[in-house]
Chains A and B, each alone.
Chain A
Amino acid sequence: MRETLTRLRYRYWPDHLLGEILSKRWTETAIPVILLLIVGFALSRSLEHFLSPASLADTARQAGEIGFIGLGMALVVIVGGIDLSVGSIFALSDFCALYLLDVLNWPVPAVVVVTMIVGGLLGAVNGVLIGYLRLRAFITTLITLIIYRSAYDLLIQRYSNAIASAFPDIPSWDFIGGGTVLGIPSVALVYIVIAIFGHIFLTRLRPGWHITAIGGSRRSAYNSGIPVRRTIALCYVASGVLTSIGALFFAARLGTVGGDIGVGLEVIVLTATVLGGITLGGGKGSVVKSMVGVLIVLLVTNGLTAMNARGGVNRMALASILLVAAMVDIRWQKNRTRIISKVYVAPTYHALPPPPPTEIGKGGPFEQNDRLRDVSLIGLGRIEAPEDVILDRNDVLYAGSRHGDIVRFFPPDYERMEVFAHIGGQPLGMAFDKEDNLYVCIGGMGLYRIKPDGTVEKATDETNRSIYSVNDDSRLRLADDLDITDDGLIFFSEATVRYEMDEWPVDGLEARGNGRIICYDTKTGTTHTALRGLKFPNGVAVASDGQSILFAETFGCSIKRYWFAGPKKGAVEIVMDNLPGYPDNINLASDGNYWLALVGMRSPSLDLAWKMPGFRRRMAKRVPVDEWLFPNINTGCVVKFNEQGKILESFWDLKGLNHPMITSMREHRGYLYLGGIANNRIGRFKLDNADPNFVQYDKRWGKSS
């Protein structure tokens, strides 16, 4: 009963999503967005007219005006500075627009352009001082704040009466101030356009990347040749221009030059910027964050005003939000990787029946023996981690090595060794096609092709992305083993989409179906995912009918058969399950049966742990990685099986002296060649009763001419 509940709970509850979602960058934006939703919901419940069109339009207008300044501030903060003078630039731009319009009676387009130029010039003062003269942003904009403010005060003493007495009646000016398009206020529309451009600018265009790079590390940006000074200066100019755009809309809406216009604006905008999650000090931030921050600040202040709260309450609320947001942001930035590494491992329920016996004297096909004791060794100490071994038609032996090389040994004695090709990554499964090209699965890289002359080409490193997957699974993380059909389709396994090559044993701890079988078509060069949700798929071999493949699921302890063509197309059947060990590569034997390597044997402790996901989760959270309970891969065996799922014989090395660990084996001219991913040798074992002329690829593709 309890077992069933556990099984159902782990079957249907997606534990693994939490870690995957948290490791996404966009979760940082999610926190302010959630806050915004909460604030919006609370206000819509407590305020009667909050959601009325008029109220929303009014909010949108204010949000647009402050939003422009927020965009400028975001830019300046991302580049690693701060702009305290925005409030004063806002006031001066407001004055400039109204002076030109009301006193000098300029046409509206000229007013708009000149006001933006004035804003840009005011920002340029900051930009030159901070960018080129390298003054401190904080102190510099503090001083310009005072200078611009006093200039504004002097100007309005002189002209405020003239401006106040004018009542311009210009339709285009009124449209800027109060017009709507399809119910959306003009200012919000312009803001959205600029925000979309800003997003593309920051995330897709070169100058945007320069800005982020400078904020991330000014010194490194300088050393890599980015025009640091100019970029910084231009950011302040942009801040000035954006502020003046906000001021233009403000001027058109209210048409006043009061003494307190823009006072304290820098605090509001700064609050919005931090609230949105734009990190002070630079290098991190986005347009969306700025937008969300502005909206939260505006909703809170407007909401409190609408609730007739005293000014003090307003301030206290703003301050509390600012503090909480800053604290959450900082704690999250600091502990992000630690939290993710704690929750990323998400074990699931995986029950296996008791394994068949392997002990001597118990009988059965897996009964241990010492037949591999007489293995002779090739390349001892000269090769590392030959996961797979393969022989071509000329009896040359190929193997991968941990250093990213494909090495080969020459007959007859396999003493002479050379590096055939260097690929990088860790070479795993290998197969020859009809033209004697060697296809290799490279862990962490994908599927590669080596021509007979040793040139390396990438066959594929991506497949179609699953729609519901949170992790981007379009890139191949751990291509493992492959085989090629007569029609030139390459079926290869990708062991897991959740872990990298170096942490593949963790996937065994999870025991979730994270792997897939992928098909690469050599004729069209296309890749698609054939099967997904497999428990660490590993060895692949084309079956005798040419319409199906056999594949091993390492942590599923089973061999399955998948039909890719013919009447049973798409069907998956179990060939063998409940193996006593973890199956690895599958290859053809001379008698038409198949060789299978068991990389390690099951142990009662892990079998039990697989039924207890909660135990494994606690272990992953509380115990250091090197003390986790991992699958045993120290000792294993080679077995021969037929397509009906019957084990025919098994080969063991009981003492573990010559060849304790086996991940692959290849039969060739009466010998069995053995590879192991933790070995420093290749084994060669004389088979009795085997066809002494068997060459796998002669049999598959016919004799070469």
Chain B
Amino acid sequence: MKRVRISQQEIVFAVFAALFLSFSIFLNGFLSADNMLTLLQNVAVLGILGLAMAIVVIGRGIDLSLIAALAVPGGLVLQMVQNGHSLPASLLAAGLLSIAVGLVNGWLIAYAEVPPLFATLATGLFVAGLGQAALFQLDVVQWSDGMAGFERLGQGSILGIPTSIVMFAIACVVVFILLRKTRWGAYIYAIGDNPFAARVTGIPTRPIIVLQYVLAGLIGCFAGLVMAASVNSMPTRIFNSTLIYDVILVVVLGGIGLSGGRGGVVNVIIGTLLIGTMLNGMTILNIPYAGQNLIKGLVLLIAVITDTFLNPRNEETAQQGDI
């Protein structure tokens, strides 16, 4: 007899579908085209960050420095333009900063063998501190005239679709191609599945791990620019928020296991949609922010518990230090 196995991805999708259906039936104005676009627009940045996190998590890592990688290079662009530098030069500086952060992360994790949790926790702290101490004059870096035209990255629409959603879509396509159509992507999956086996088969595991974090940093920078463009400023205090937890939840709920080697772009989209639907529905219901968080947390908890019941962890093959 074959046991029916339901993956976490399917559970989350079912939860999403149930939520979506009930909101559509019981909430006035939920299913309208405008609201759908708003829903997606609100979670576009979260989704892009989710893609960055997905790359790292598939390679059996985690990147807690993503929020810093979003806030600081993005803020740097705005600050430099404000200080009179040209936009391309500022973008270049931000890109270099992101690459540097990614390289440091990757080196620490791949070569110095610091656990990713700590390496990225520390670099995130460091980069945020750097921004606060040396780069920005105010917590919120304001838009300046030199940025004219750049706001189209996050505002307006292309063919009737809000730009931020288009950006999320572009990012999805790029990451999808990288993960599924290139050799590097295959390497990332191999490393996530079993780093030692990957190494033995001759995959350059360490450079690929560095590559993961550089890519994550660059995507984070991109998310930051989209975010800055859509709100015309960069609130650098976002580092203090719980946004990073939302990003992890998007990835994990979508079905990309933290032990690596599983999942892909589709999972990020599903996870993002679930979070987006929940947030949107609760906003329409006029639930306060704290209440929204509470409900979000409880739903997530139920989803994770359900997953554990349907797919219990295997005690015999569980890895040491896999927390």
Task: Please indicate the chain A residues that have their CB under 8 angstroms from the CB of B272 in the complex.
Answer: none
Contact B242 A80 (CB under 8 A): no
Contact A311 B294 (CB under 8 A): no
Q: Which of B232-269 contact A (CB under 8 A)?
A: 240, 242, 245, 248-249, 252, 258
Known: A150-B293, A315-B132. A326 touches B323 (CB 8 A): no
A263, CB-defined interface residue at 8 Å: yes
Cα–Cα distance between A219 and B308 once the two chains are bound (Å): 18
Q: How far is the CB of A150 from chain B (nearest CB, A)?
A: 4
Known: A150-B293, A222-B315, A320-B126. A312 touches B323 (CB 8 A): no
Known: A280-B118, A281-B320, A323-B119. A134 touches B312 (CB 8 A): yes
A380, CB-defined interface residue at 8 Å: no
Which residue on chain B has the smallest CB distance to residue A267? B121
Task: Please indicate the chain B residues that have their CB under 8 angstroms from the CB of A264 in the complex.
Answer: 240
Contact A154 B312 (CB under 8 A): no
Q: Mark A4-22, 1 if CB is under 8 A from B, else 0.
A: 0000000000000000000
Task: Please indicate the chain A residues that have their CB under 8 angstroms from the CB of B322 in the complex.
Answer: 136, 281
A2, CB-defined interface residue at 8 Å: no
Contact A143 B129 (CB under 8 A): no
Which residue on chain A has the smallest CB distance to residue B236? A312
Known: A154-B290, A322-B118. A330 touches B323 (CB 8 A): no
Q: Which of B82-127 contact A (CB under 8 A)?
A: 108, 112-115, 117-119, 121-126
Contact B115 A280 (CB under 8 A): yes
Which residue on chain A has the smallest CB distance to residue B113? A330
Contact B293 A146 (CB under 8 A): yes
Cα–Cα distance between A80 and B115 once the two chains are bound (Å): 14
Q: Which of A91-130 contact B (CB under 8 A)?
A: 129
Cα–Cα distance between A151 and B294 once the two chains are bound (Å): 6
Q: How far is the CB of A582 from chain B (nearest CB, A)?
A: 46
Q: Say what secondary structure dominates the interface of chain A.
A: helix
Which residue on chain A has the smallest CB distance to residue B64? A267
Cα–Cα distance between A317 and B305 once the two chains are bound (Å): 39
Q: Which of A135, A222, A312 contacts B134 (CB 8 A)?
A: A312
Contact A310 B298 (CB under 8 A): no
Q: Which of B119, B133, B242 contacts A146 (CB 8 A)?
A: B242
Contact A129 B130 (CB under 8 A): no
B313, CB-defined interface residue at 8 Å: yes
Max chain A C-beta neighbours (<10 A), residue from B113, B118, B131, B132: B118
Cα–Cα distance between A397 and B129 once the two chains are bound (Å): 80
Q: Mark A139-150, 1 if CB is under 8 A from B, else 0.
A: 110111111011
Which residue on chain A has the smallest CB distance to residue B307? A135
Contact B122 A326 (CB under 8 A): yes
A334, CB-defined interface residue at 8 Å: yes
Cα–Cα distance between A312 and B129 once the two chains are bound (Å): 4
Contact A219 B315 (CB under 8 A): yes
Q: How far is the CB of A226 from chain B (nearest CB, A)?
A: 13
B300, CB-defined interface residue at 8 Å: yes
A153, CB-defined interface residue at 8 Å: yes
Which residue on chain A has the smallest CB distance to residue B241? A263
Task: Please indicate the chain B residues that have their CB under 8 angstroms from the CB of A150 in the complex.
Answer: 290-294, 297
Q: Which of B118, B132, B252, B313 contacts A312 (CB 8 A)?
A: B132
Q: How far is the CB of B319 from chain A (nearest CB, A)?
A: 9
Contact B123 A147 (CB under 8 A): no
Contact B305 A129 (CB under 8 A): yes
How many interface contacts (CB-CB < 8 Å) are there between A and B? Answer: 164
Contact B126 A319 (CB under 8 A): yes
Contact A311 B132 (CB under 8 A): yes
Q: Which of A147, A282, A323 contacts B122 (CB 8 A)?
A: A323
Q: Mark A301-330, 1 if CB is under 8 A from B, else 0.
A: 000000001111111111110110011001
Contact B118 A153 (CB under 8 A): no
A138, CB-defined interface residue at 8 Å: yes
Contact A327 B112 (CB under 8 A): yes
Contact A323 B301 (CB under 8 A): no
Contact A312 B293 (CB under 8 A): no
B318, CB-defined interface residue at 8 Å: yes
B321, CB-defined interface residue at 8 Å: yes
Q: Which of A151, A319, A326, A331 contacts B129 (CB 8 A)?
A: A319
Contact A274 B118 (CB under 8 A): yes
Known: A154-B290, A316-B129. A147 touches B297 (CB 8 A): yes
Which residue on chain A has the smallest CB distance to residue B299? A143
Q: How far is the CB of A548 from chain B (nearest CB, A)?
A: 58
Total contacting residues, chain B, CB less than 8 A: 53
B304, CB-defined interface residue at 8 Å: yes
Contact A147 B130 (CB under 8 A): no
Task: Please indicate the chain B residues that have their CB under 8 angstroms from the CB of A316 in the complex.
Answer: 125-126, 129-130, 133
Task: Please indicate the chain B residues that have their CB under 8 angstroms from the CB of A281 in the complex.
Answer: 115, 320-323
Which residue on chain B has the smallest CB distance to residue A264? B240
Which residue on chain A has the smallest CB distance to residue B125? A319
Contact B128 A315 (CB under 8 A): yes
Cα–Cα distance between A500 and B27 once the two chains are bound (Å): 78
Q: Mark A272-292, 1 if CB is under 8 A from B, else 0.
A: 001000001110000000000
Contact B133 A326 (CB under 8 A): no
B34, CB-defined interface residue at 8 Å: no
Task: Please indicate the chain B residues that have their CB under 8 angstroms from the CB of A140 in the complex.
Answer: 301, 304
Cα–Cα distance between A281 and B322 once the two chains are bound (Å): 7
Q: How far is the CB of B217 from chain A (nearest CB, A)?
A: 16
B316, CB-defined interface residue at 8 Å: yes
Q: How far is the CB of B59 from chain A (nearest CB, A)?
A: 17
Cα–Cα distance between A8 and B182 once the two chains are bound (Å): 67
Q: How far is the CB of B213 from chain A (nearest CB, A)?
A: 14
Q: How far is the CB of A62 from chain B (nearest CB, A)?
A: 19
Q: Which of A136, A146, A153, A270 contacts B121 (CB 8 A)?
A: A270
Task: Please indicate the chain B residues that have their CB under 8 angstroms from the CB of A219 in the complex.
Answer: 315-316, 318
Q: Mark B132-169, 1 if CB is under 8 A from A, else 0.
A: 11100000000000000000000000000000000000
Task: Please indicate the chain B residues that have their CB under 8 angstroms from the CB of A263 in the complex.
Answer: 240
Cα–Cα distance between A2 and B97 once the two chains are bound (Å): 57
Task: Please indicate the chain B residues that have their CB under 8 angstroms from the CB of A320 in the complex.
Answer: 122, 126
Contact A139 B258 (CB under 8 A): yes
Max chain B C-beta neighbours (<10 A), residue from A81, A222, A330: A330
Cα–Cα distance between A319 and B234 once the two chains are bound (Å): 23
Cα–Cα distance between A532 and B305 once the two chains are bound (Å): 64
B296, CB-defined interface residue at 8 Å: yes
Contact A135 B122 (CB under 8 A): no
Q: How far is the CB of B13 from chain A (nearest CB, A)?
A: 18
A133, CB-defined interface residue at 8 Å: yes
Contact A139 B252 (CB under 8 A): yes
Task: Please indicate the chain B residues that have their CB under 8 angstroms from the CB of A137 in the complex.
Answer: 323
A247, CB-defined interface residue at 8 Å: no
Cα–Cα distance between A151 and B315 once the two chains are bound (Å): 33
Known: A153-B290, A154-B291, A316-B125. A280 touches B304 (CB 8 A): no
- What 6 A-B pairs come out closest when comparing CB atoms? A281-B321, A312-B133, A312-B132, A315-B129, A153-B290, A150-B293
Given contact pairs A139-B258, A264-B240, A326-B118, enumerate 20 new A-B contacts (beta carbons under 8 Å).
A80-B323, A133-B305, A134-B308, A137-B323, A143-B297, A145-B245, A146-B297, A150-B293, A150-B297, A219-B318, A263-B240, A270-B121, A310-B133, A313-B133, A318-B129, A322-B118, A323-B108, A323-B123, A330-B112, A330-B114
30 sampled A-B residue pairs with Cβ under 8 A: A134-B308, A134-B312, A134-B313, A135-B308, A136-B304, A139-B248, A139-B258, A140-B304, A142-B248, A143-B249, A143-B297, A143-B300, A146-B293, A146-B297, A147-B298, A149-B293, A150-B292, A154-B294, A218-B320, A282-B321, A312-B128, A312-B131, A312-B134, A315-B125, A315-B133, A316-B126, A319-B122, A319-B124, A319-B126, A320-B122
* Residues of B that sit less than 8 Å from A by CB: 108, 112-115, 117-119, 121-126, 128-134, 240, 242, 245, 248-249, 252, 258, 288-294, 296-298, 300-301, 304-305, 308-309, 312-313, 315-316, 318, 320-323
* Residues of A that sit less than 8 Å from B by CB: 80-82, 129, 133-140, 142-147, 149-151, 153-154, 157, 217-219, 222, 263-264, 267, 270-271, 274, 280-282, 309-320, 322-323, 326-327, 330-331, 334
